Structure 1
Amino acid sequence: MLNRRQLITRTALASASVALPGLALAQANNTTRIVVPFAAGGPIDVTARILADAVKGSLGTVIVENRPGAGGNIGMSAVAKAPADGLTLGVATTASHGINPWLFKQLPYDPAKDFAGITQMLSVPNVLVMNAETAARLKIQSVADLIAYGKANPGKLNYGSGGNGSAGHLAGELLKNQAGIFAVHIPYNGGNPAQLGLLSGQVDFNIDNLATAATNIRSGKLKALAVTTAQRSSAMPDVPTVAATLPGFEIDTWWGLVAPAGTPADVVRKLNTAFADALKSAEVKTRFAALFAEPAPNTPEQFDAFMKRERAKYERLVKLSGAKVD
């Protein structure tokens, strides 16, 4: 007969083995696993799998484990609590390490203290787009035109996003703030519904991921006014930047690899070398280009500093938007 303490201990151990099957497998086989804090099939998952395949020559077996939920918080919490042995890595994103610390009242991890940066993986430009018919009707062909229309017609513009606190919402608030215009925010339940809202003319403009918007831009259904990165995108070099009209405007989507805090420096260096070399390879560049993603390898120190700057930037933007998730 088990006493109460033994029962609690065994129950906790059983729960842990169910909750972290990938971790147990990785430790048993000396396998490296990359935790993707979003569902399988999306661009973050796809790029993680491309990298996992590219580093198998230097790191051996690398598996990808999807742990979606709570805007990336569930997966990143699992990484933060994993042993700091270099066998469990996580994909840190704009959401998990930039937006969520200010959007959520409480996080199950500390993005500043619980992780060691390995390398940024990539940067994906966002693009300011309008329904092509709406743009023609309102005679808006550029960012300057959009700003001029907004100032001449206060309260008439609106824009859509994938939800309150999403990257598209915060980018829209930054645009409004720097341009000195007002536009009503229309939140949708995800990026795809937001794009459908734009295509159907329910909203005037969106700031969307270039990979998502590219097909409709090329078909002529959407008018691309500008990309939100500091430099033009190699995928659409004829599209100007927002910064050309609003100096200093810069916002994009990024993700990269992190390990639990306390991972030995030599292990971090080994991982950085393996993944950075893979990101510089012609094969990975070609496969990422199909996703409109640009590899952005850097050092662990550079990636940690970058994430710190992103947290500071999004603290301001989340406060500006007023978005909160309890």
Structure 2
Amino acid sequence: MKTIAHFALAAMLAGTCSLAAAQAYPSKPIRLVIGFAPGGAADSVARAMSEPFGKALGQPVVVDNKPGNGSSIAADIVAKAAPDGYTVLIASPSSISVNPALNPKIGYSPRDLLPVTKITTSPLVLAVNPNTGITSVKELIAAAKKDPEKLNYSTSGNGSAPHLGAALFTQLTGAQMTHVPYKGGSLAIQSVMAGDTQVTFGTSPTVLPMANGGRLRVLAVSTRERSPLVPDVPGMREAGVPDYNLEFWYGVFVPAGTPPGIVKKLFEAATAAMQSPNVKAALAREGTEVSLSASPEKFAEFLVEDGKFWVNLVKSAKVKVE
């Protein structure tokens, strides 16, 4: 009986401490970790939301870029951080579903990260270096089949959404291209503009500004139909690949074990930040749409089904860690 009483007292004290921590939170700056280099889509989202996010929390939010291994380094850092709400991750499907499926020896499990909310969704954009002379998806497929050794495609890393987008494209079309991974979307785009690679499935924020300046030629978006985010660009059905359909998202995560009260505060602050007209306008200019979960629980439910899609794509496209 004495042991049971001790356990009950310990549980009550732990609950009281957790409640007190949640009520005092936050009392210092929050570190917002992203798995890609500055200039990419994740970086754009993080920097657009960081100021209003911090304002809603009442503390500064500091963006911390930790690129590498298809964003696994950042996810691993946050998964192993103290579950106190001061280390927060912005992640895409690559961190949460794809990388664990590609690499069973990865240093963290998706269970080590607690979902807070989805924040954005957008299509990928298929683009080429204008010097290739390729002006349509059909011409790209023909060129890739005619000379399989000639075309290289760049992405923001192994297991990233752009990598999976290109893998699905080659699977459906029979086009043969060589994958060249980089540590971030901006680096991948720079390689295409420089002619080191010729093709990319990039994110809208990294591709569209360069396309508008004539340094890239956009061929299609990765959704089956035209996207209202990029209305002047054909969808894959119109471009000649009707079975192709893919879009990706970014979401907010914290270490597992973070008290529910802190998760609630982060959810409310992220929701307020992303509903800011300035944030919506900034992201819309780059082809990204604000897309929020109704609750952390609803985001967790979404991830279960979404994860199945990405893992099935990894398997069917036979994507490997290179």
Aligned residue pairs, count:
292
Q: Does 1:246 align with 2:241?
A: yes
Within-5 A mapping of 1:102-113: 102-111=101-110, 113=111
C-alpha change, 1:154 and 1:302, in structure 2 (3 Å) is farther
C-alpha change, 1:52 and 1:129, in structure 2 (3 Å) is closer
Q: Find the aligned partners of 2:63 and 2:278 in 1 and give their Cα distance.
A: 23
Map Cα deviations across residues 35-69 of structure 1 (whole Å, 9 max, x no partner). 31336734434432432321344321142252615
* Structure 2 unaligned spans of 5+: 1-23
Q: Is the 8 A contact 1:105 1:324 kept in 2?
A: no
Q: Does 1:48 align with 2:46?
A: yes
Within-5 A mapping of 1:162-173: 162=155, 163-173=157-167
Q: Match for 1:226: what amino acid?
A: A
What's the offset of the Cα at 1:189?
4.1
1:80 corresponding residue in structure 2: 79
Q: Match for 1:89: what amino acid?
A: V
Map Cα deviations across residues 161-201 of structure 1 (whole Å, 9 max, x no partner). 1354443332212012122x231214154555644554455
Map Cα deviations across residues 89-133 of structure 1 (whole Å, 9 max, x no partner). 22222331132112334222211x122211112124321112334
The match for 2:277 among 250, 257, 282 is 282
The match for 1:160 among 141, 148, 153 is 153
SS of corresponding position for 2:177? strand
> Which is worse superposed, 188-197 or 265-274?
188-197
C-alpha change, 1:213 and 1:308, in structure 2 (3 Å) is same
Q: Find the aligned partners of 1:252 and 1:67 in 2 and give their Cα distance.
A: 23
Q: Find the aligned partners of 2:59 and 2:160 in 1 and give their Cα distance.
A: 34
C-alpha change, 1:35 and 1:142, in structure 2 (3 Å) is same
Q: Match for 1:242: what amino acid?
A: M
> Which is worse superposed, 115-124 or 239-248?
239-248
Q: Does 1:237 align with 2:228?
A: no
Within-5 A mapping of 1:57-72: 57-64=55-62, 66=64, 68-71=66-69, 72=71
C-alpha change, 1:249 and 1:287, in structure 2 (3 Å) is same
Q: Match for 1:239: what amino acid?
A: V
1:315 corresponding residue in structure 2: 311
Q: Find the aligned partners of 2:298 and 2:282 in 1 and give their Cα distance.
A: 24
Return the TM-score normalized by structure 2: 0.75
Return the TM-score normalized by structure 1: 0.74
C-alpha change, 1:195 and 1:53, in structure 2 (3 Å) is closer
Q: Match for 2:73: what amino acid?
A: I
Q: Does 1:121 align with 2:116?
A: no
Q: Match for 1:269: what amino acid?
A: K
Q: Find the aligned partners of 2:273 and 2:47 in 1 and give their Cα distance.
A: 12
Q: Find the aligned partners of 1:56 and 1:193 in 2 and give their Cα distance.
A: 28
Map Cα deviations across residues 124-151 of structure 1 (whole Å, 9 max, x no partner). 432111233434xxxx543345446666
SS of corresponding position for 1:183? coil
Q: Does 1:227 align with 2:221?
A: yes
Q: Find the aligned partners of 2:65 and 2:206 in 1 and give their Cα distance.
A: 23
Map Cα deviations across residues 266-319 of structure 1 (whole Å, 9 max, x no partner). 543333222113212212112223443321111323322333344333323334
Q: Does 1:33 align with 2:30?
A: yes
Q: Find the aligned partners of 1:193 and 1:73 in 2 and give their Cα distance.
A: 17
